[in-house]
Amino acid sequence: DTGVSQNPRHKITKRGQNVTFRCDPISEHNRLYWYRQTLGQGPEFLTYFQNEAQLEKSRLLSDRFSAERPKGSFSTLEIQRTEQGDSAMYLCASSDDSQPQHFGDGTRLSIL
Amino acid sequence: AQSVAQPEDQVNVAEGNPLTVKCTYSVSGNPYLFWYVQYPNRGLQFLLKYITGDNLVKGSYGFEAEFNKSQTSFHLKKPSALVSDSALYFCAVRDFITNAGKSTFGDGTTLTVKP
């Protein structure tokens, strides 16, 4: 069990730029989740996949956000035309069906 | 809809004393409840879960939690706190049947254990 891996760990970008984050889940896990966490708050659900199918998207996920899991393995989260309010920690988690989620260490996004 | 409340932003205890971190939840169906711990600049680590069965569940690092259906609570407990338990703790809920994917987290409670 190598754990959930997220890259990069930190991303600093200028407002208006596009960014892409990658998540590699635990290999045998069929579910993959994305959350956003801001200071002083718990993780907020963004979206989740079962294998390659995106089954649920939060209303938090505006049109500027898109997530993919093309082969049911790794996933990418892209944010287009970044805004100041996008600054947060983006967490990825994976699980085997309804078992507890295993989290990566997150990607911290800072918008200048 | 589902929600979690952690009424205390901060809990302070002395090393060796028992600790309790409170959590109440709201869910339309059967609750699937979790506790996670987060250390600075790290992701969340799973501590314990409740689905069905005994109301007292035991988890990692000597932690346990008590499920109370009538009070819709799932408080985290440990009989004897360690300084190393100091961290940010999150309670989470999922509707076990209807909401298979989405977990809702509380805003966290910072536990500080003083020597």
Place of tokens 């999150």: B90
Q: Any chain A CB within 8 A of the CB of B110?
A: no
Instruction: Kindly indicate the confidence band of residue B28, based on its pLDDT and cuts at 50, 70 and 90.
Output: confident
Contact A91 B41 (CB under 8 A): no
Do residues B76 and B35 lie in contact, with contact meaning Cβ atoms separated by under 8 Å?
yes
Do residues B42 and B87 lie in contact, with contact meaning Cβ atoms separated by under 8 Å?
no
pLDDT for A97 beyond 60: yes
Q: Any chain B CB within 8 A of the CB of A70?
A: no
Do residues B90 and B108 lie in contact, with contact meaning Cβ atoms separated by under 8 Å?
yes
Instruction: Kindly indicate the confidence band of residue B98, based on its pLDDT and cuts at 50, 70 and 90.
Output: low
Question: What is the rounded CA–CA span in Å between residue B102 and residue A87?
Answer: 22
Q: How far is CA A51 from CA A32, A94, B94, in A?
A: 8, 11, 20
Give the other-Cβ count within 10 Å of B33's Cβ.
23
Place of tokens 């089954």: A55
Do residues A105 and A86 lie in contact, with contact meaning Cβ atoms separated by under 8 Å?
no
pLDDT for A1 beyond 60: no
User: pLDDT tens for residues B38-72?
Assistant: 998 889 999 999 988 889 999 999 999 999 999 99
Burial of A22 (0-12, 13-18, 19+ CB in 10 A): middle
Where is pLDDT greater, at B83 or A57? B83
* Residue of chain A whose Cα is closest to the Cα of B41: A105
Place of tokens 């079962």: A50
Q: Any chain A CB within 8 A of the CB of B103?
A: yes
Report H helices in A1-112: none
Give the other-Cβ count within 10 Å of B67's Cβ.
20
Do residues A106 and A8 lie in contact, with contact meaning Cβ atoms separated by under 8 Å?
no
Query: What's the confidence (pLDDT) of residue B57?
Result: 95
Q: Any chain A CB within 8 A of the CB of B40?
A: no
Nearest to residue A25, comparing CAs of A74, A71, A85?
Answer: A74
Question: What is the rounded CA–CA span in Å between residue A35 and residue A112?
Answer: 22
Mind telling me how many Å the CA of A90 is from chain B's nearest CA?
A: 10
The three-class DSSP label of residue A86 is helix
**8-67 in chain A: CB under 8 A from chain B:** 31, 33, 35, 40-45, 48, 50, 55-56, 58
Q: Any chain A CB within 8 A of the CB of B34?
A: yes
